[in-house]
Amino acid sequence: MPLKPNDLAAALLATGLLSLTAVPALAQAKNPERNVYYGETHVHSSWSFDAFAFGDTVTGPEEFYQYSLGKPTMHPGGYQVQITKPLDWAANTEHSEYMGMVQEAMDPNSPLRKHSPVVAEALKLGVQADPLLAFKVLSLTIAKGDSIKQLSDPLVVAPVWKRIVDIADKYYQPGKFTTFAAYEWTSTPNSKNLHRNIFFRDSKKVPQVPFTPLDSTDPSELWRWMDKQRAAGNELLAISHNANLSDGLMFPTEVDHAGRPIDRAWAEARLRNEPLTEMKQVKGQSETTPGLSPNDEFANYEVFVWHLLGRKGPPPHEYGSYVRQAYKDGVALEQARGFNPYKFGLVSGSDSHVTVVPYRQKNFFGVHGTVDDTAQKRLDGATVLGLNSLWVTPAGLSAVWAEENTREAIFDAMKRKETYSTSGVRIPLRFFGGWGIEAALFKDRNWLKSAYARGVPMGADLPAKASGSPTFAVWASKDPDSANLDRVQIVKGWSVNGQSFEKVYDVAWAGARKPDPTTGKVPPVGSTVDLATATYTNTIGAVELKSVWTDPDFDPSLDAFYYARVLEIPTPRWSTIQGVKLGRVPPSGTGFSAIIQERAWSSPIWYAPSAAARKGAKPGVTIAELKKQGALALSDAQLKELLVGKTVKVRNAVTGERFEILHGTTGRRLVTAVNGKPATLAEVGELMHGGDQDYEIRDGRLRTDVNGSEFDVAVYKLGDKYLAARSNEFGYANYEVEPLKQ
């Protein structure tokens, strides 16, 4: 029997191929299998002081919502732009500190003028003289915790915050377009990003003024304030963002921002208040890097290396700054200490400091006001605070699976983490996991109903089971306005005795390609990109990809996570498209190339063993157990005697791998052999990240640097044996050390 029009619409809505905005008759009908809604979680207008300083001086929250709905809007560069496709939902997230104060200083009737005319006049004159310098001065007051009190007085801030909330209410159209009362808490201690975007479920219950970094730069204090709001009936959540610019601080494992040990209470506070993190925005992606994931052939995508506020110094730390490593550390913490602070879902955003946000490579018009408002400026590498405009990229999009397009439904979807992130394209993506999902799932026309009944969706936890392997169903369809799909992958991470591991599985792909029999990796899809014309064709790839996949390496005794990643076929980057238009050779450089593969990332599904299943794990040796047996940590002098000028054998007790490492007398070390054979150039490069590497011995530890982050090793002697423990392996001593006879 053929489907009726509304039946067909409902079926398309269930898969996400159709938006409710295109079906007014169904706009109020709740879909139990949920619809996909694409939105914006992170954007600034002229009401954020830095956006104003970058040249976005006229447009505000109203213009952002109008633009999001598809209305042509004026760019600060003096020309009109239009979004390629209207959004389903959005939130204007102005910086909380000094929010709207430029506008207040300019308005002779503003509360700031009435209460602090001298400060208002000084701000006005400073902005008129040099807005970027004024921004730097105010940013310095925030970083030093020495704010200008008059600019953060509730009498001055409350009216601005109320106008932002009122504007969000004005543009809220339940069933068609959802807005949120939201703002950005912009903690930046020592120019390290700890930013969070705060969303309120009900705009009628928001506080008089936001909690800001001027109140505290400590995330724990923000969570404490959020808990108080929630206790008073005001439901809210935080989205951590820009982890790739946190210099290792966003996802700590030992101590928090204030130097306090991370414990169960800290983990639970974070989980309670921050169910989501931002995977992609204009300043690159926070999934992973080639240094953190050397075996991931797609890790080198829009890797962004820059210091906030133009801070000088070495590249930011990678460890503690990327999502996949945080997921891995989370399951390791769960196994070692019984709590996991990093069970968050994924969204994306823009962090655009121009009200009109570019999401597409073909429709990219800059993100920093008048600094990069022309193709000429962008391709010439115009900079703001040391940030090269060639490094930036179109915004990411946040996708939620919700029953309807309302504040309540979308907020609840974010809270339960049934969300995913895209690089700016609109790839519908479904991901389910369970113990009873059948291989023939997709043959059922009502497969979504079966998937919800037999499994859990992205963002959820698998129920514990003592035997068998979990099965995952993943489905993706191409964005109708973008490229075909290359492949669907499932990224798995797990932990053994404090060591974390990852593996990327190709589970569905376009064409007749065959996985490599040794690595299991599917060959590249190829490329139709013509760099001379900055075009591509959809003559390769697939319109739809789906698979039911069972983990072939599952161990029921080990904590694990799984998330789906979908890749498009190669397409030209914005810099290539605009380079060709200007008659230039397409640029490429650190962190970006002329050709990209757009993508989407699902929120993970987590597995935690039952107490009975955990007993099946192979026990490791802990530092605490060694000390009970009388082991003593080596002093600096003893470490130098053992290591300096000598080669030692090191065996990883978890993996069984064996290495020989030479520690030179000049503070350099080198891997010389792997598993009994001389180290190859590739092995040395992978293990040492470029060859030999500095080390030093101090405070009873061998200290070195991996991926820009310091880690150290303590060595314990028990009888005639030496065992070593790495600082980031959560109390396990996983390494046997044997001096070689010289």
Three-state helix/strand/coil letters over 645-691:
CEEEEEEECCCCCEEEEEECCCCEEEEEEECCEECCHHHHHHHHCCC
Q: What is the pLDDT of residue 11?
A: 44
Higher pLDDT residue, 668 or 274?
A: 274
Token pair of 588 as six digits:
């490429």
Classify the phi-psi angles of 456: left when phi > 0, otherwise alpha if psi is within -120 to 50, otherwise beta: beta
Whether pLDDT at 491 is above 70: yes
Whether the Cβ atoms of residue 36 and residue 401 lie closer than 8 Å to each other: yes
- Report the percent of the chain where pLDDT is more than 70: 92
Instruction: State the number of CA atoms in the 13 A half-sphere of 270 facing the CB.
Output: 25
d(CA 236, CA 227): 9
The angle subtended at Cα 384 by Cα 40 and Cα 304, nearest 5°, is 60
Candidates 177, 172, 176, 228; CA nearest to 204 is: 172
pLDDT at 391: 95
The pLDDT score that the predictor gives to residue 694 is 86
pLDDT confidence of residue 27:
47
The span from the CA of 321 to the CA of 344, in Å, is: 14
Q: How far is CA 723 from CA 139, 645, 649, 738, 742, in A?
A: 47, 19, 11, 9, 20
Number of helices (H), then strands (E), belonging to the chain: the values are 19, 39
197 confidence band (pLDDT: 50, 70, 90): very high
In the chain, % helix, strand, coil (3-state, to 5) comes to 25, 25, 45
Measure Cα distances from 402 to 30, 32, 408, 736 in Å: 9, 8, 9, 51
Q: Go through 84-119 and write b for each residue having 16 or more CB atoms within 10 A of its CB, e for each that does not.
A: ebbbbbbbbbbbbbbbbbbbbbbeeebbbbeebeeb
CATH class for the region spanning 623-739: mainly beta
Judged against a pLDDT cut of 60, whether residue 60 lies above it is answered with yes
Average pLDDT over residues 378-404: 95
**Taking residues 529-555, what's their average pLDDT?**
97
Cα–Cα distance, 650 to 661 (Å, whole number): 8
Instruction: Parse the chain into domains and list their residue ranges.
Output: 1-31, 41-358+393-416, 429-614, 623-739
> Looking at this protein, which amino acid is placed at residue 133?
L
> For residue 58, how many C-alpha atoms fall within 13 Å in the half-sphere facing its CB?
8
What mean pLDDT comes out for the span 428-455?
A: 96
- Give pLDDT, residue 148: 87
CA gap 451, 445 in Å, rounded: 12
356 close to 277: Cβ distance less than 8 angstroms: no
Q: What percent of the chain has pLDDT over 90?
A: 81
Whether 692 shows a pLDDT value over 70: the answer reads no
Give Dmax (Cα) for the chain. 83
Say yes or no to pLDDT of 155 above 60: yes
Cβ(713)–Cβ(722) below 8 Å: no
Confidence of residue 683 (pLDDT cuts 50, 70, 90): low
What is the C-alpha to C-alpha distance for residues 610 and 559, in angstroms, rounded to an integer? Answer: 10
pLDDT at 4 over 60: no
How confident is the model over 478-502, as a mean pLDDT?
97
Stretch 616-630: mean pLDDT, rounded? 94
At 130 the three-state DSSP class reads coil
Quickly state the pLDDT bin for 149 (edges 50, 70, 90). confident
Residues 689 and 290: their CA atoms lie apart, in Å, by 10
What pTM does this model have?
A: 0.94
Residues 20 and 404: beta-carbon distance below 8 Å: yes
399: CB partners within 8 A, 6+ apart:
36, 37, 38, 39, 347, 419, 420, 421, 422, 426, 428, 429, 600
What is the rounded CA–CA span in Å between residue 73 and residue 8? 35
Instruction: Tell me which of 21-35, 148-162, 460-474 is least confident.
Output: 21-35
Tokens standing for 332? 């390791």
Query: Which residue, chain included where needed, has tokens 């035997």?
Result: 467
Asked whether 42 and 61 are in contact (CB, 8 A), the reply is no
6 pLDDT more than 50: no
What local confidence, expressed as pLDDT, does residue 10 receive? 44
Written as one letter, the residue type at 357 is V
Give 277's pLDDT tier (boundaries 50, 70, 90): very high
What is the pLDDT averaged over residues 363-388?
95
Most confidently modeled range among 204-213, 299-308, 310-319: 204-213
**pLDDT surpassing 80 at residue 675:** yes
pLDDT at 688 over 80: no
- Is the pLDDT at 28 greater than 70? The verdict is no
- Give me the pLDDT at residue 137, please: 87
Kind and range of the H or E run holding 399: strand 397-402
Give dist(CA 195, CA 94) in Å, integer: 12
**Within 10 A of 210 (CB to CB), how many other CB atoms are there?**
24
User: Quick one: pLDDT band at residue 305, thresholds 50, 70, 90?
Assistant: confident
Q: What does the alpha-carbon distance between residue 421 and residue 414 come to, in Å, rounded to a whole number?
A: 12
Arithmetic mean of pLDDT, 585-614:
93
Q: How far apart are CA 499 and CA 494, in angstroms?
A: 8
Q: What is the pLDDT of residue 317?
A: 86
The four Cα atoms 575, 579, 585, 586 give a dihedral, to 10 degrees, of 20
Q: What is the DSSP string of 148-202?
A: -GGGG-HHHHHHHHHHHHHHHHHH-BTTTBEE-EEEEE---GGG----EEEEES-
Model confidence at 589, pLDDT cuts 50, 70, 90, reads confident
Average pLDDT score over residue span 310-337: 89
Please give the pLDDT value at position 139. 83
With 0-12 / 13-18 / 19 or more C-beta atoms within 10 angstroms meaning exposed / middle / buried, residue 606 is buried
| Position 465 confidence tier, pLDDT thresholds 50, 70, 90 | confident
Predicted pLDDT of residue 591? 80
Please give the mean pLDDT across all residues of the chain: 92
| Cβ atoms of 379 and 391 closer than 8 Å | no
